[in-house]
Amino acid sequence: MSRFYRGFFIFWIVWEHGLDDLVLSNVRQPWLQSIGRFLRFRRDLSSPRGVRLREALERLGPIFVKFGQVLSTRRDLLPQDIALELAKLQDRVPPFASEVAVATIERAFGKPVGEIFSHFEHEPVASASIAQVHFARMKNKEGQDVEVAVKVIRPNMKQVIEKDLALMRTMAKWLERLSQDGRRLKPIEVVAEFDKYLHDELDLVREAANAAQLRRNMQGLNLVLIPEMYWDYCHQEVIVMERMNGVPISQVEQLKSAGVDIKKLARDGVTLFFTQVFRDGFFHADMHPGNIQVSLEPESFGRYVSLDFGIVGTLTEFDKEYLAQNFTAFFRRDYKRVAELHVESGWVPPKTRIDELEGAIRTVCEPYFDRPLKEISLGMVLMRLFQTSRRFDVEIQPQLVLLQKTLLNIEGLGRELDPDLDLWSTAKPFLEKWMIDQMGPKKLWEQLKSEAPRYAKLIPELPRLVHDYLHVPRSAGLNEEVLKLLQESRQTQRTLMRIIWIGFGFVLGLVVMQWITQVG
């Protein structure tokens, strides 16, 4: 019954704010026009359509606000008036009462706010779908008075999200049973992924841990600033972090007037994204403009300032390698390799004809090469690829849905900063270097170092393993354990031979260099 009431509430909000009018206003079928005229009965639709859409999403709750945030980054796909209104969902969702925020902080840390902070601003500086942020001052461990940002979760968020997720699960089951694309689209798995990310976002300690991991990963890159967490004041409902100063990335004119190189900023954004995805397999997955600023401080001028780490994406080594090979083949216009990778990964049925899939991918992608970003809509490319995927029965990969969403965010951000940015040529050198690092001597050396403890333990056992192998009766056969040990010994032997040859070459090189020096 709760799902029924929630479904009715959603329908009521859609009707009350006239969202049906946005859909049915341009239809030509007479019966749909009649429905539209009936639904317009006794409603005040005097407010602009963008305002009505934003207010409806705010009333419907955090999941719908998230949806509006994603849409707001794609101004190329939306009318300008709607895009401008949805942009307000990034950090200007109506706040909850500051008294509630103070009570949550005091309950989390078991002491009055005045004992934690030397100053606390009751007026929130930003308010989003899941939490809101207040600025404050406090003493750090060294006794210094520092500026901090205090993030407080919205009250009763879990109950609201659970209702919407239950409704989404029901709709996913219907889609899987009734739609021909149900099995291929994997709606139940996609909703499960969404469920996991939303619940992760409700745990602010997890967000603090995500921020700490990203901060470590990005050290030395000198492209982004990530706030430090004050772990003594991190709770599931409240986290206290270093206050960051920057200009929202959406304020492009202000950044230009301050002297920021906007084209470089756009290129740096692409570099950051691909570094997090392919080098680390751990990426910021909520990169809408409300979470990104640019520093104007002299020591960090022009760097990104990243905020809000409630949603991060992770990729396995298999996912990274598969995606990197796909991107690299795509940038080289090697559509046959892209088709082969789809078959090898099991994304398409094994009986799929490579030449047919290759031709379909070429038809979609080839028209978009060598064009600036302003002439390309990645959203349209993905839509055409999606249509192609239906023809070849490509299965949707739920673990990559978040990556696809983030890629759309990145394209929207790049389009805002530099419409002439060539997304492909900017990313191509990075991915080719990554592939070399994955398959070259550097990767081999890293694997040797990581496996060294196991090899050191195994080497003394080699004589016994060989003795056991030679004395096993042929009629008895080899059990699984002996086979496994034999395989490990062979791998170890091959690795040792590589090390010996590398060492021999290194020594030989030193001898030759010394001889050349003496002769010279």
Reported as a single tens digit per residue, the pLDDT across 66-108 is 667 666 655 555 677 777 787 777 656 788 999 999 999 999 9
Please check the confidence at residue 323 and state whether its pLDDT lies above 90.
Answer: no
Distances from the Cα of 79 to the Cαs of 45, 71, 83, 315, 418, in angstroms? 18, 11, 6, 34, 20
Please tell me the predicted confidence (pLDDT) of residue 102. Answer: 96
Distance between CA 381 and CA 368 in Å, rounded? Answer: 8
pLDDT score for 231: 95
Cα–Cα distance for residue pair 403/176, rounded to 1 Å: 23
Question: Could you identify the residue written with the tokens 């030193």?
Answer: 510
SS3 state of residue 133: strand
Q: In sequence order, what are the residues at sequence separation of 6 or more whose Cβ sits closer than 8 angstroms to the Cβ of residue 101?
A: 122, 124, 132, 134, 152
pLDDT grade, residue 404 (50/70/90)?
Answer: confident
Q: What is the identity of the amino acid at 279?
A: R
- Tell me the C-alpha distance between 496 and 501, whole Å: 9
> Quick one: average pLDDT of 194-222?
87
Q: Percent of the chain scored above 70 by pLDDT?
A: 65
Residues 268, 302: Cα–Cα separation, whole Å: 10
The mean predicted confidence, pLDDT, of the chain is: 76
Instruction: Please tell me the least confidently modeled range out of 120-124, 243-247, 386-390, 429-433.
Output: 386-390
Instruction: Give the burial string for 80-110 (b: 16+ CB within 10 Å, else e).
Output: eebbebbbbbbbebebbebeebbebbbebbe
Strands 224-225 and 304-306: parallel
Least confident range of 141-145, 160-164, 298-302: 160-164
Residue 516 has pLDDT above 60, yes or no: no
Mean pLDDT over residues 3-19, rounded? 72
What is the per-residue pLDDT for 344? 78
Q: What distances in angstroms separate CA 361 from CA 184, 373, 392, 408, 420, one per listed residue?
A: 18, 20, 11, 19, 25
> What is residue 140's predicted lDDT score, i.e. its pLDDT?
87
Of the candidates 76, 91, 164, 286, the residue annotated as catalytic is: 286
C-alpha 459/C-alpha 461 separation (Å) is 5
Distance separating the N- and C-terminal Cα atoms of the chain: 91
Residue 122 DSSP class: S
Q: Which of 486, 462, 460, 459 is nearest to 472 (CA)?
A: 486
| pLDDT for residue 475 is more than 50 | no
**CB neighbour burial string for 360-394, b if at least 16 within 10 angstroms, e if fewer:** bbeebbeebeeeebeebbbeeebebeeebbeebeb
Please check the confidence at residue 399 and state whether its pLDDT lies above 70.
no
Q: What is the pLDDT of residue 172?
A: 72
Q: Is 203 a catalytic residue?
A: no
Say if residues 241 and 152 touch (Cβ distance below 8 Å).
Answer: no
Give the per-residue pLDDT at 245: 92
How far apart CA 464 and CA 450 sit, in angstroms, is: 25
Asked whether the predicted pLDDT for residue 517 surpasses 90, the reply is no
| pLDDT, position 211 | 95
Contact 326, 397 (CB under 8 A): no
Residues in the chain: 520
Please state the φ and ψ torsions of residue 35, each to the nearest 5 degrees. Answer: -60, -45
CB 83 within 8 Å of CB 72: yes
Residue 256 has pLDDT above 70, yes or no: yes
79 vs 145: which has the higher pLDDT: 145
Which of 180-194, 291-305, 360-374, 452-466 has the largest mean confidence?
Answer: 291-305
For residues 239 and 341, the model is more confident at 239
Is the pLDDT at 225 greater than 80, yes or no?
yes
Say yes or no to pLDDT of 229 above 90.
yes
Average pLDDT for 35-64: 72
